[in-house]
Amino acid sequence: MKEFRVGVLASGRGTDFQSIVDAIEKGDLDATIAVLICNNKDAPVIERAKRHEIPWQHIDHRGKSRREFEEELVGVLKEREVDLVVFAGFMRLVTSHFIEHFRDRIINIHPSLLPSFPGTHAQRDALEWGVRVSGCTVHIVDESADGGPIVFQKAVPVQPEDSPENLADRILREEHKVLPHVIRLFAEGRVKVVGRRVFIDEEGREALRPV
């Protein structure tokens, strides 16, 4: 069977990236990280790639047009022949120019139960609203920021005394289970996007249960 090649885009610490690496190394995920692309040369995620001997590339977004930046991303991802693009804490929005190259094959993980609390302060916003349940969402990346079809969600309880940091940590622990799980669903060819709904094929009924 042809290997399933994942391109990961990240900007920061890279704990979501690490969860993919770990799942592959443990044999829980039959996939290859074809490349890590990072837009921030000082991001710790690059050290993680080096440590695990995963090809990585720094592509700076600064000093170029959005179009040029996206062209560079697309170039590397195509050259590495990726089947799935994973935004794992990637802090840049992309346009339809990028999206068209990988339509329905780009996923993002977001630390809330979308459509509640989109944007870059999801955990703080959830606490300020006072919800009792938040969570994480893996969705298809389309032209709407944080608004694409949802592949998977996991609920996480919130306590009124939570700080944004400890809520973020609790959600992150779930992200690290959810993200490899969803990549596995793609690798097994079980994900089908129909309009706003995402179907996981028959065998995948199991796949929507809590991980």
Catalytic residue among 52, 58, 110, 139: 110
Give the footprint of a second copy on residues 25-44 (CB under 8 A): none
Is 110 one of the catalytic residues? yes
Site for a second copy (CB under 8 A): how many residues?
30
Residue 178, token pair as written in the block: 């959810």
Distance (Å, rounded) from C-alpha 14 to C-alpha 39?
12
Interface with a second copy, residue 103, by CB under 8 A: no
Interface with a second copy, residue 154, by CB under 8 A: yes
Give the one residue of 52, 153, 177, 211 binding a second copy; rule: CB under 8 A: 153
Mention every residue, 6+ apart, whose C-beta is less than 8 A from residue 175: 15, 16, 19, 109, 111, 136
Interface with a second copy, residue 109, by CB under 8 A: no
Mention every residue, 6+ apart, whose C-beta is less than 8 A from residue 182: 107, 138, 151, 152
| Dihedral of the alpha carbons of 24, 28, 30, 35, in degrees to the nearest 10 | -20
Which residue type does 164 have? P
The interface region with a second copy, picked from 22-30, 47-55, 99-107, 194-202 by CB under 8 A, is: 194-202
Catalytic residues: 110
Residues at the contact surface with a second copy, assessed by CB under 8 A: 113-117, 128-133, 135, 137, 149-155, 157, 159-161, 196-200, 208
